[in-house]
Amino acid sequence: MNTALRFAKQSLDLAIEIESPILQAEALEEVSHIERNLGNNHLSFQASLKALQIYESLNMVKRQAASYSQLANNYMSDENYDLAIQYLKKAKNIYADSDNIQNHVLTILNLGEAYRLAQHLDSAATAFQQTLQLNKTLNNDIVQGYSQGNLGMVYNTQNKLELAEENLNDAITILAPMGDDYSTSVYLAELGTVYNKEGKHKLAEAKFLEAHSMAKQAGLKEQIRDFSAFLTSFYEEQKQYRKALEYQKQFQVYQDSLVNKENVQKIEQVKASYEIDKRESEIDLLNITNTNQKYWVTSLAIGVSLLLLFAYLLYRGNKKVKVANASLFKREQEKALLLRELNHRIKNNLQMISSLLNLQSHELTGHPAKEAIVAGKHRVEALSLVHRKLYQEDLDTRILLKDYVEELVLGLFHGYDAPFEPDFKIDDISANLDTAVPLALVINEIIINALKYAYNNIHKPKLKIVMAQEKEYLNIEIIDNGIGFNTNEAEKNNSFGIKLIYSLIEQLEGTIKKLDSKHGAHWKMTIKIA
């Protein structure tokens, strides 16, 4: 078989060399047939499909039908009956328009068998009845025998036992004299199952034994195995366990033999594939070597030219990148300088406003508006502190909250002459200007409120500020042990500070709540950190 495959592939190579598409397709059909016999179904598929493509390109319709039938046989070998049916239908339609009645009938016969194996029993019966009708013109005994035998098997599955018995007997009568032991033995065993269903156990046993004997004489191992299984089941039903055991042993012997045969076939397939691949690899290697020698000089010249071109383009690209980087660096420096100068000027302006408010507060000693002026001064100083930090620490837009908050709070403690030191627990966190400024004002309001009102008659005053980052959120807690703070009363009194706090927290897309505490106030805020 391997020799045949080698010759078929040589024929294909010659057909390609002389540029004959028809000979190529015929060689591919032969390759497909041999590969299928070797069990290499995927290679058989490839060859059949290539042949079909050639026939389609040449508009050779009848040859296309043969390729469809070959593909269908491959799919039936793989038990992919639905695809087999599709290709057989295509072949059938082509043969129906041709004058080749025999191929038309045989294709319908194969289509009926595909339907039967796919359990489309009504379609199978229709196909076999059609072949019997067409065979009245063809008068072919093989077609007649196979059609009636397969139709009998369909009727048996449908439990139409009288029709099954009639057709199977007719098929056996036709095929037995022709020496077709395979089909005859299969139909005999099927007839045995019909008799068994009808309760004719003696006749069933006789047909099973006749089928088994015929398969044994013809050396049909698969059928011996299958018929032994039939007899085992039959004798178990009849409670003849000795005979059932005898045929069970035969079944096992032939089952093991067939498994070993399949394993040997697989090993041979692998060996054959290896040898073929090895030869093809050697041929491919020689072709590659010749091609490489032929184009080596040209490829080298092209490669050198491309390398030089690439080097030139790389040089120009690097030069442009350096110029662009230098320009970008210069712009960034200018931008940083302008931003630093802007922070400096804003800081100076805010400091001037703070000084004016401070002077104004001195002029309003004893006046009710003094407290509002002082509060405004502290708010301005909180803003000024942000820009001073950015300017002094040479920062652009981000500020370290730990240093900033500590300096802000300590400044307030100093301004209100607080007799104790605050407790800080702040992580190393940075924030941009849009976050730092509103946050500073919120902390400013809460701390001022605590320093002004919380510690009357408190023996050991305390104030603690906690700031910790959790993913993209910043948690802030401000806790004192003062006399407590009632937000409802503050809102009723229309407190600007409370309104400012809630407005700024909302601006920061955060939340604020005052937790219940027996001693003092406990503020907890959560804001998005950017």
- Domains of the chain, by residue range, sit at 140-276, 316-396, 418-528
Q: What mean pLDDT comes out for the span 149-176?
A: 92
pLDDT at 262 over 70: no
- With both helix axes pointing from N to C terminus, report the angle between 221-237 and 241-363 in degrees, rounded to the nearest 10: 100
- State how beta strands 463-470 and 511-515 pair: unpaired
- Of 278 and 192, the structure prediction assigns the larger pLDDT to 192
| 25 pLDDT tier (thresholds 50, 70, 90) | confident
Second CATH level (architecture) for the domain 140-276: Alpha Horseshoe (1.25)
Residues 119/128, Cβ–Cβ less than 8 Å: no
- Residue 330 is predicted with a pLDDT of 63
Residue 77: CB atoms within 10 A of its CB come to: 13
Nearest by Cα to 212 from 251, 178, 241: 251
> CA-CA distance, 483 to 457, in Å (whole number)?
9
- Residue 392 is predicted with a pLDDT of 58
Angle at 93 between CA 92 and CA 97, to 5 degrees: 110
pLDDT at 370 over 60: no
pLDDT at 203 over 50: yes
Q: How are strands ordered across the β-sheet holding 522-528?
A: 423-426, 463-470, 473-480, 522-528, 511-515
| 360 pLDDT tier (thresholds 50, 70, 90) | low
> Would you say domain 418-528 falls under CATH 3.40.50.800?
no
- As a whole number of Å, the end-to-end CA separation of the chain is 76
- Residue 267 is predicted with a pLDDT of 40
pLDDT at 493 over 70: no
pTM tops 0.75? no
| 374 pLDDT tier (thresholds 50, 70, 90) | low
| 263 pLDDT tier (thresholds 50, 70, 90) | very low
Buried b (16+ CB within 10 A) or exposed e, 393-409: eebeeebbbbebbeebb
Percent of the chain surpassing pLDDT 90: 24
Q: Which of 279-293, 328-342, 398-412 has the lowest mean pLDDT?
A: 328-342
Q: Which of 250-259, 287-296, 498-507 has the lowest mean pLDDT?
A: 287-296
pLDDT at 310 over 90: no
- Of 350 and 144, the structure prediction assigns the larger pLDDT to 144
| 279 pLDDT tier (thresholds 50, 70, 90) | low
Q: What mean pLDDT comes out for the span 448-456?
A: 86
| 494 pLDDT tier (thresholds 50, 70, 90) | very low
- Residue 490 is predicted with a pLDDT of 55
Q: What mean pLDDT comes out for the span 446-470?
A: 90
- Residue 395 is predicted with a pLDDT of 53
Rounded mean pLDDT of the chain? 81
Q: Which of 121-125, 350-354, 471-475 has the lowest mean pLDDT?
A: 350-354
Residue range 207-242, pLDDT digits in tens: 989 989 998 898 888 888 988 888 899 899 889 989
Residues 221/185, Cβ–Cβ less than 8 Å: no
Burial degree of 54 (CB within 10 A; 0-12, 13-18, 19+): buried
Residue range 389-444, pLDDT digits in tens: 655 555 556 788 898 899 889 988 988 889 999 999 999 998 888 888 888 889 99
Residues 390/399, Cβ–Cβ less than 8 Å: yes
Q: Which of 99-103, 205-209, 327-331 has the lowest mean pLDDT?
A: 327-331
- Residue 454 is predicted with a pLDDT of 86
